[in-house]
Amino acid sequence: NAGVTQTPKFQVLKTGQSMTLQCAQDMNHNSMYWYRQDPGMGLRLIYYSASEGTTDKGEVPNGYNVSRLNKREFSLRLESAAPSQTSVYFCASRKDRGEQFFGPGTRLTVL
């Protein structure tokens, strides 16, 4: 099992560009999550999906959209990137009544 995989590992964007961060899990988990991690801020929830076909906003959803493509995949889209979105992005998944497993992260810089 690969667990939770994320692509790309690194990305540099210019202000206003768009991009999609990909996440996939092979553990048959129902719930998936997107977090951002900024220095000294811990992990903050952007969006989550409790099951295939549903998505909900977390603590910091502004500037982002998500798609739960199928049970395995949950993508995060930045339509018009801003320097404030420079961060490390983590995807996580969780089975019912279990705990979250995290991917290795995507390091995004917006110039």
Partner 1 sequence: GQQLNQSPQSMFIQEGEDVSMNCTSSSIFNTWLWYKQEPGEGPVLLIALYKAGELTSNGRLTAQFGITRKDSFLNISASIPSDVGIYFCAGRRGSQGNLIFGKGTKLSVKP
**Residues binding partner 1: number (CB under 8 A):** 23
Among 49, 87, 93, 100, binds partner 1 (CB under 8 A): 100
- Token pair of 43, please? 């992990």
- Taking the C-alpha atoms of residue 72 and residue 68, their distance in angstroms, rounded to an integer, is 8
* 27: contact with partner 1 by CB under 8 A: no
User: 38 to 77, contacts with partner 1 by CB under 8 A?
Assistant: 40-45, 48, 50, 58-60
Q: How far is the CB of 63 from partner 1 (least distance, A)?
A: 16
The answer to whether the bond into 8 is cis (omega within 30° of 0) is yes
Among 34, 64, 74, 90, binds partner 1 (CB under 8 A): 90
DSSP 13-59: E-TT--EEEEEEESS--SEEEEEEEETTTEEEEEEEESSTT--EE-S
Q: Which residues bind partner 1 (CB under 8 A)?
A: 4, 33, 40-45, 48, 50, 58-60, 90, 92, 97, 99-105
